[in-house]
């Protein structure tokens, strides 16, 4: 019987079942024991120093005169939600006003809460909706918090643990989507109704605003609070890439009639549309990746004469866009390098480069407060350049350095170079290599190739104290792949590896592996690869489809059983990315990249480490469990499995667990690749 007709490991899909948990615990203990050593302990301690360091940059967001931050360290493993002033944040010894001590809350309530974010009441900022996960998963309880009394509001808004959507309408009303009982969640495990909950009402009594079908991904409600431009929106998420934005006007929903796969932004009087496929409208064909603008009122009355704010080319893509009070900042990628441009909507969208932005770095806009000012905050980083945070005000204050991270590893003598490999279909694919300057091209270097290649996620150069200490300082070479499926060259780069074209991402990654060997950087026995989530699917396909190219594989929180992925955790929400295996025609191509069905007893595979988390309610641990069990059952050697009990899709929930997991990953890789 073929592997895709019989599944001997279905019992491992019972995530919290006694027998599967016992299996996972035994596997994890064996894996840790296999790599236990004084060296492992020392590496764990060094990595924990990075993660716990008080010299890390506390990234802030500006709301209502305060600057908010969430912080974990050795004394506060579950973290502190806190705030400060700009003057204090600029100082060497910042005074933090602690709003919520999550460790203390957990001790008081007998729950090991994990902070999942807080949403302040706009224009008031005296209240917040605080999300607390019981295990680090996506499902969280939501409770109303009073920032003045530093306490949860008695009889305030309280939402039981679920995958919920929520936002403030006013001080006494919220939009809410949550688990209201049978039939209230989609097949993807997200809310299928959005309701209006008023203060004092039981959750079950919330007034229905709109609902979608169980086949849709989810629905959510948003109230925009900008003075003079207050409006209610309902967003129908049809799948991972298609959505409809509806204006709620006097109880009637008005559809913003743009393509379902376009990204929509409403800001003051403007409607912005980011086109994800060619759109013919108003006698013009706007190409994939373009950003368009029009006044909302004109659009609703039939005008389609858009201002074109950005058009991509073969080197340049739009990474993100952020409004300040009077300007729009575009973050562009030019051959995977950051460039920022400022547009002035009040002057016909005139543009100028954002002055003072660090060159040769990955630069992101990390915060603006568009209802308050033209202030913006930037995060700058590079493979060997520690992170920096800069603050500026458009038109008056050029970006000033506010915080910089210390160096966590010795980068002296390292150089970063970009190379290009040629994939099977002739496409040129870039990758970054971090290695010693003047690297001898004799094939002797342990090399780690990292990739993702999905969901239009761009993998950009960034400083990593963990990679530096655990890999680069030992003499390893680190390589970051910019393969198709990602967003490094815009939506077209993503769709080139969508559904039936998914193998293009794998071919790109394999081409980079071959290029590293042909250039003399490494050899297959010294080349490892790693990826997590969708990147776990990527390296799972390296394991089963290109085993001759690698000496070790690390596969984290992965998708692997593509026959059943839509029935596991939140898997149904990714049909738009991979296809539907329950459709026979789509399974015909999905089966070609489903590692769980492709692994063979007579195959020859490199050593592999799978890791997952019991509490991961996005991908879940079962696909990694089943793959490890199947390979071990086939007698394939060097198959290791590790599962944290908590941590959600991140794989670990606190700094100590994160340090241990990373030490395990890099000890496994170094022991198999360094020889």
Is 423 a residue of the active site?
A: no
The yes-or-no verdict on residue 90 having pLDDT over 90 is yes
Residue 538 has a pLDDT of: 98
Section 488-513 average pLDDT: 97
Rounded to the nearest 10 degrees, how much is the dihedral formed by the CA atoms of 26, 47, 80, 459? -90
The yes-or-no verdict on residue 572 having pLDDT over 70 is yes
Residue 2 has a pLDDT of: 43
Q: What is the rounded distance in angstroms from the CA atom of residue 507 to the CA atom of residue 491? A: 19
Q: Which of 398-425 are b and which e, b meaning 16 or more Cβ less than 10 Å from the residue's Cβ? A: ebeebbebeebbebeebebeeeebebee
Kindly tell me the burial class for residue 220, based on how many C-beta atoms sit within 10 Å of its own C-beta (0-12, 13-18, 19 or more). Answer: buried
The percentage of the chain sitting over the pLDDT mark of 90, rounded to a whole number, equals 92
What pLDDT digit, counting tens, does each position of 173-208 carry?
999 999 999 999 999 999 999 999 999 999 999 999
Per the residue annotation, which of 223, 494, 649, 657 is the catalytic one?
A: 649
Residue 645 has a pLDDT of: 78
Positive or negative: CA dihedral 359, 365, 371, 375: negative
1 confidence band (pLDDT: 50, 70, 90) = very low
Cβ-based neighbours of 111, under 8 Å, separated by 6 or more: 105, 134
398 confidence band (pLDDT: 50, 70, 90) = confident
In DSSP terms, which residues pair with 62 in a beta bridge? 67
5 confidence band (pLDDT: 50, 70, 90) = low
Report whether 411 contacts 265 (CB < 8 A). no
In DSSP terms, which residues pair with 415 in a beta bridge? 435
The yes-or-no verdict on residue 4 having pLDDT over 60 is no
Residue 511 has a pLDDT of: 98
What pLDDT digit, counting tens, does each position of 403-430 carry?
999 999 999 999 999 999 999 999 999 9
54 confidence band (pLDDT: 50, 70, 90) = confident
What pLDDT digit, counting tens, does each position of 98-152 carry?
999 999 999 999 999 999 999 999 999 999 999 999 988 899 999 999 999 999 9
What backbone phi and psi angles, to 5 degrees, belong to 162? -170, 170
648 confidence band (pLDDT: 50, 70, 90) = low
Report the chain's mean pLDDT, rounded to a whole number. Answer: 95
Is 533 a residue of the active site?
A: yes
Count the alpha carbons within 13 Å of 338 in the hemisphere toward its beta carbon: 26
The percentage of the chain sitting over the pLDDT mark of 70, rounded to a whole number, equals 98
What pLDDT digit, counting tens, does each position of 370-384 carry?
998 999 999 999 999
What backbone phi and psi angles, to 5 degrees, belong to 363? -120, 130
Residue 462 has a pLDDT of: 95
3-state secondary structure at position 448: strand
What pLDDT digit, counting tens, does each position of 592-647 carry?
999 999 999 999 999 999 999 998 888 999 999 999 999 999 999 999 999 987 65
The yes-or-no verdict on residue 470 having pLDDT over 60 is yes
What backbone phi and psi angles, to 5 degrees, belong to 473? -65, -25
Closest listed residue to residue 49, CA positions, set 28, 67, 73, 25? 73
Per the residue annotation, which of 533, 569, 573, 615 is the catalytic one?
A: 533
Question: Which two tokens mark 483?
Answer: 């393969």
């Amino acid at each position: 019987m073929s592997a895709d007709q019989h599944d001997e490991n279905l019992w491992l899909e019972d995530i919290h079942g006694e027998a599967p948990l016992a299996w996972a615990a035994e596997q994890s203990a064996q894996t840790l024991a296999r790599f236990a050593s004084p060296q492992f302990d020392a590496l764990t301690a060094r990595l924990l120093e990075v993660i716990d360091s008080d010299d890390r940059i506390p990234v802030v967001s500006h709301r209502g005169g305060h600057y908010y931050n969430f912080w974990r360290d050795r004394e506060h493993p579950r973290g502190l939600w806190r705030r400060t002033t700009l003057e204090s944040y600029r100082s060497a010894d910042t005074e933090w006003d602690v709003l919520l001590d999550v460790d203390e809350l957990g001790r008081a309530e007998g729950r090991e809460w994990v902070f999942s974010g807080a949403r302040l009441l706009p224009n008031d900022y005296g209240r917040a909706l605080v999300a607390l996960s019981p295990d680090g998963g996506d499902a969280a309880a939501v409770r109303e918090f009073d920032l003045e009394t530093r306490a949860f509001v008695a009889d305030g808004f309280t939402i039981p643990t679920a995958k919920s959507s929520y936002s403030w309408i006013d001080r006494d009303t919220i939009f809410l989507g949550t688990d209201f009982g049978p039939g209230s969640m989609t097949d993807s495990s997200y809310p299928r109704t959005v309701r209006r909950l008023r203060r004092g009402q039981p959750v079950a009594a919330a007034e229905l605003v709109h609902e979608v079908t169980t086949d849709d991904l989810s629905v959510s409600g948003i109230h925009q609070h900008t003075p003079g431009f207050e409006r209610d929106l309902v967003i129908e998420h049809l799948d991972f890439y298609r959505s409809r934005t509806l204006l709620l006007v006097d109880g009637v929903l008005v559809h913003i009639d743009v393509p379902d796969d376009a990204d929509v932004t409403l800001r003051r009087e403007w409607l912005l549309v980011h086109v994800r496929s060619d759109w013919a409208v108003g006698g013009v064909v706007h190409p994939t990746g373009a950003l368009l603008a029009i006044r909302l009122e004109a659009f609703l009355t039939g005008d389609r004469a858009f201002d074109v704010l950005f058009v991509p080319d073969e080197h340049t893509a739009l990474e993100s866009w952020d409004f300040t009070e009077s300007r729009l900042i575009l973050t562009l990628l030019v051959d995977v390098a950051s460039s920022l441009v400022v547009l002035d909507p009040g002057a016909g969208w005139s543009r100028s480069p954002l002055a003072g932005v660090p060159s040769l770095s990955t630069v992101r806009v990390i915060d603006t407060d568009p209802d308050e000012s033209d202030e913006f905050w930037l995060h700058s980083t590079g493979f060997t350049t520690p992170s920096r945070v800069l603050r500026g005000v458009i038109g008056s204050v050029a970006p000033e350095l506010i915080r910089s991270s210390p160096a966590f590893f010795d980068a002296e003598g390292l150089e970063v170079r970009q190379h290009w490999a040629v994939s099977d279909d002739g496409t040129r694919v870039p990758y970054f290599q971090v290695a010693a300057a003047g690297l001898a091209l004799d094939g002797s270097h342990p090399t780690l190739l990292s990739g993702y290649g999905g969901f239009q996620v761009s993998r950009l150069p960034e400083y990593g104290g963990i990679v530096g200490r655990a890999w680069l300082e030992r003499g390893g070479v680190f390589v970051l792949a910019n393969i198709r499926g990602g967003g490094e060259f815009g939506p077209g780069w993503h769709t080139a590896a969508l559904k039936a074209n998914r193998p293009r991402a794998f071919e790109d990654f394999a081409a980079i592996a071959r290029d590293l060997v042909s250039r003399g950087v490494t050899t297959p026995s010294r080349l490892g690869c790693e990826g997590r989530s969708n990147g776990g699917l990527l390296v799972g396909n390296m394991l089963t489809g290109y085993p001759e190219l690698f000496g070790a594989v690390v596969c984290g929180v992965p998708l692997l059983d593509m026959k059943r992925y839509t029935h596991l955790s939140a898997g149904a929400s990714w049909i738009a990315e991979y296809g539907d295996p329950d459709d026979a025609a789509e399974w015909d191509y999905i089966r070609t990249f489903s590692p769980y069905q492709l692994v063979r007893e007579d195959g020859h595979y490199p050593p592999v480490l799978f890791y997952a988390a019991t509490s991961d309610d996005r991908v879940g641990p079962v696909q990694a469990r089943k793959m490890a069990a199947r390979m071990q059952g086939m007698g394939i050697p060097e198959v290791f499995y590790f599962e944290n009990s908590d941590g959600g899709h991140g794989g670990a929930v606190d700094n100590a667990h994160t340090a241990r997991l990373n030490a395990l990953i890099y000890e496994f890789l170094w022991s198999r690749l360094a020889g």
